[in-house]
Structure 1
Amino acid sequence: MIPCSKFRRLTRSDAGKMAPGWATLDRDLVELIGARVLAGDLQDYVRFRTVCPHWSASTVRPQGRGILDRRFYPRRWMLLPEGHGLYPGHPNLRGFVRFFNLSTGAFVRVHLPLLADHVVLDSVDGLLLLHSDRDTAIRVLHPFTGDVAELPPLASLLPQIESNNYGELHKRSKLTRVCTSITVGSTGAITVMLVLDLLHRVAHSTTGDRRRTLSAWNLKPLIKPVSFQGKLYALQPIVRTRKVYIYKINPPCPDANEGQSHLPLPEKIAECPLEKIIYMLNFVECGSELLLVAYADASHSRLVVCRFADLVRGKIEPVTSIGDNALFIDERCLCVSVSPNRGSSSLASIPRNSIICWHKVPVNPGFAGPARFGQYDLGTGIWTPASDGDIRQRPPPRPHTLIHHIFTCCNRRYWNKGLMFCVETEPIWMVKQNLRHAA
């Protein structure tokens, strides 16, 4: 990895000049300090371990445990879309890709040659879900440690899909728009659940399985599936009673009779009145909380933010402020920290306490008009343009702003192709179209 942040790595000469007291700290104390550093960011923890051999020996090495131990997940790091058609694995990138830290604004350049023949389908907690061009195998990759979890190919789901006179290519196209959840069992087995958006089913597999398995039940009428802390949640709005039911999709259970695991039915964990909410946009993870962003009126002029924990308790209490954060809401949602105290110029253009999304401009009271790319100030309730130009009609002007890059991350079909988000641009692969159809 080639770090590009302001954090200066200590050289060997620096380490040699360290006071003897620091270099000979008690092992338990070094381990405790390392745990505090790790709670902040994995990259800082890696640098912490390089200070001296004693500090390295006193702390846990991330390599080999990057996927098994959730402490080492690079949660706040997102693969950055380069634009200009430079998809991850493009020959001109020479195997390198850039990652962007959503909390500090730091960039890091990482060498990932595996992307030469793999497509990035999703990112969960900073881990990358990869799809092999050659055999459709699914792999979970930790981009900073290089750890890989091998899982069965997506093609193993094809015989389980009702044909309905559809060809194989059509059925394959229903398997690549996914929302991913990763669970690590007590034995170290890694289970990956994929919400197949176009098929309305959930596929699951565990390391060591020979094939993936589809849920016996249909995901409808559940909406807004989201992965949070290794679990899947979804909503079911009941229009007649103005309520919303909240469901949890638990990991698969072993079936003693069939010798394989199966997904239990979604478990309803709460129901909540739909007061103060007209239309739900999506969930977004912000810090240690899961938030729901929704419209509060029929004209789509006012947004509200609610805590998922409050919904589970059966009540809606809108959040009045999200502090030094900005929420990017679309197919996938991101929370960006824009704290002025960190001194990062990378995030200076992003307004704090704001929500950035496509929204429908009100034309008359009670009626929403055409959609625009805007930012909503949660404190004042005022909408303003999120960028220069109209990125609905044409690609955004160059150089692309950081807001464009981050919003492109919220759209998986643009994010993995090196394309900047634009409504009128069809996100198609310029290479290997037969292998990456609909990915």
Structure 2
Amino acid sequence: MSPPLPCPKRARVATAPCGAGAPWASLPEDLVQLIGWRVLSGDLLDYVRFRAVCAHWSRSAARPRGRGLLDPRFHPHRYPEGHGLYPGHPAFGGHVRFLNLSTGALARLHLPLFHDHVLLGCTDGLLLLLRHRDPGDTAVRLLHPFTGDVAELPPLSSLLPQMEHYGNMTEDRKLCTLRGFLSGVSAAVNVGPAAAGAITVVLALEIKLLVAHATTGDQRWTLLAGRLPRLLGPMVSFHGNLYAVTPKSPQRNSVCIWQIDPDAAEGRSLLPPRIIAHCPLVATLGAVHLVECGSELMFVGFNDAKPTDLAVYRVADLISGRVVPITNIGEHALFLGQRPLYASQNKGLPSVVANSITCRYRVTKNNPLRGGRPLPRSTEQYHIGTGTWSPAMDGDISCWKGIDLRQALTCSSILFLPVATTATGVKVSYSTIKSSLMGQ
């Protein structure tokens, strides 16, 4: 693994002196560590603040830098970024915003790698980047955005010699094939034993229906023999594995859940995708979106029998394939796009409507909000409990020119979470947090 990236010089976070009379100074080191791990289970930034309380706590609790990739406890799970993000654009000013979808905490930081890298995908808050200094440069890196830890992976071009008809490919055709890899990439990360320091990344190239994997130290990506079956929707990373849904029958009233396990690649070839569950459905579905919601896996699809309805299923048991239709996801809201995600309604995200699904309406001519007019697909909100639709926001975000990048956070290629003015009170002072992550 590469050393952490250097960061601009900033004032280090001052820690309070631990006087003899201070009660926190007398806490045993192992107790401080235990409390620290409990805090870390909520939010990495809260853990940074915890370490900044005093010098004793800072010494007793493990430093994130250098462990950001190798210890999954330090992965920023609830800070996703959208596929294709390219902060080298002048409108970003060289910075990237990260939003905690559970708490609404906002962090803004400068990432030097984005000067000549583009985001392939995000898994567990870790950024998979592709370098593009010139057409032949396809180096891949895994970056922890909060600590600067980087893992070097083989160039993506190493997949080309394993492709069919490679010997007859022109240089332009090779570049065109590589570009095809970049559309619809899902990734999963498996961290080996800390002593080994090995990180395995599995890429699902959904447009090509191919799977590849590589471990830090490898010279090339290894392409899995065969292809993925036809998918009903994007794949999702859940608990370190990749999952996909395919139709089991032509009627689509039963689906199969597939699993790709990166852990199986350690020390040997990656096992092919396998079916882990056959799930009968109450309704026949069209496109199906897998999405993690809290600690559970769900899938959502439009009901073919009633196109104005969305059906939501909770995967109650991956082993037995038992799925349960539900009409309540509590305080959560689902956002369906190129990469589905969920957010939680709280004071940090006041614009999020609980128990709802935001997506592009499927059948525009029957859209109850459009009066039957065949207008472009709009982004609207489906209320699960009542089965009704409402506008998700004022205006049409499909018109890119009207979007102020400082007022919107990219969550996928087509969906945005607006930064409400009431959320300014929870913005993170990132100069303070970054200094603590990098330097303490």
Normalised by the length of structure 1, the TM-score is 0.80
Q: Give yes or no for contact 1:228–1:285 (8 Å, CA) kept in 2.
A: yes
Comparing 163-172 with 52-61, greater Cα deviation is found at 163-172
Q: Which has the higher contact order (CA 8 A, sep 6+)?
A: 2
CA contact (8 A) 1:231 1:250 kept: yes
Q: Secondary structure at the match of 2:378?
A: strand
Matched AA of 2:249: V
Q: In structure 2, give the amino acid aligned to 1:376.
A: Y
Gaps of 5+ in 1: 3-8, 416-439
Measured in 2, the distance between the counterparts of 1:246 and 1:376 equals: 25
Q: Which amino acid aligns with 1:377?
A: H
C-alpha distance in structure 2 between counterparts of 1:253 and 1:221, whole Å: 23
1:245 equivalenced with 2:256 (yes/no)? yes
Does the CA-based 8 Å contact 2:200-2:265 persist in structure 1? no
1:285 to 292, 309, 322: 292
Matching of residues 284-323 of structure 1 within 5 Å: 284-310=291-317, 312-323=319-330
Supply the AA of the counterpart residue of 2:125.
G
**More displaced 10-residue stretch of structure 1: 195-204 or 367-376:** 367-376
For 1:2-21, what aligned pairs fall within 5 Å after superposition?
A: 12=15, 20-21=22-23
Residues 345-380 of structure 1: per-residue CA shift (max 9 Å, x gap): xx2222111100011247569x99763210011121
Counterpart of 1:264?
271
**TM-score of the aligned structures, taking structure 2 as reference length:** 0.80
Instruction: Return the match for 1:334 from 341, 355, 358.
Output: 341
Q: CA RMSD, aligned part only? A: 3.2
Q: How does 1:372-387 map to 2 (within 5 A)?
A: 372-387=378-393
Residue pair 2:40, 2:46 contacting (<8 A) in 1 also:
yes
Distance 1:133 1:363, change over 3 A: closer
CA–CA separation in structure 2 for the residues paired with 1:128 and 1:75: 11
Distance 1:206 1:94, change over 3 A: same
CA 1:332–1:223: 2 relative to 1, 3 Å: same
**Is contact 1:10–1:51 with CA below 8 Å preserved after alignment?**
no
2:231 corresponds to 1:229: no
- What SS is found at the alignment partner of 1:36? helix
Spell out the pairing of 1:335-350 with structure 2 (5 A cutoff). Answer: 335-339=342-346, 343-344=347-348, 347-350=349-352
Describe the SS at the equivalent of 2:87: coil
Equivalent residues of 1:80, 1:100 under 8 A apart: no
CA–CA separation in structure 2 for the residues paired with 1:54 and 1:128: 32
Q: Deviations over 1:66-87 (max 9, x none)?
A: 1111100001113489xxx994
Q: Post-superposition shift, 1:39?
A: 0.5
Q: Residues 1-80 of structure 1: matches in 2 within 5 Å?
A: 12=15, 20-79=22-81
**Does residue 201 in structure 1 map to residue 210 in structure 2?**
yes
Mark the runs of 5 or more structure 2 residues left unpaired by the alignment: 1-6, 417-440
Displacement, 1:190?
0.6
Which is worse superposed, 166-175 or 208-217? 166-175
| Counterpart AA for 2:176 | H
Q: 111-120 vs 219-228, which deviates more?
A: 219-228
User: Which residue of structure 2 lines up, in the alignment, with residue 395 of structure 1?
Assistant: 400
Question: 1:122-163 deviations in whole A, cap 9, x for unaligned?
Answer: 111111000011321110000001100100000111112223
Tell me the distance in 2 between the aligned counterparts of 1:380 and 1:101. 28
Residue in structure 1 matched with residue 160 of structure 2 by the alignment: 158
Q: Does 1:128 align with 2:127?
A: yes
Pairwise CA distance, 1:191? 0.6
C-alpha distance after superposition, 1:93-149 (max 9, x if no partner): 554322111112121121211111111111111110000113211100000011001
Deviation at 1:274, TM superposition (A): 2.6
Instruction: Find the aligned partners of 1:375 and 1:62 in 2 and give their Cα distance.
Output: 38
Give 1:168's match in structure 2, choosing from 164, 174, 179: 174
- Whether the 8 Å contact between 2:78 and 2:102 is mirrored in structure 1 is yes
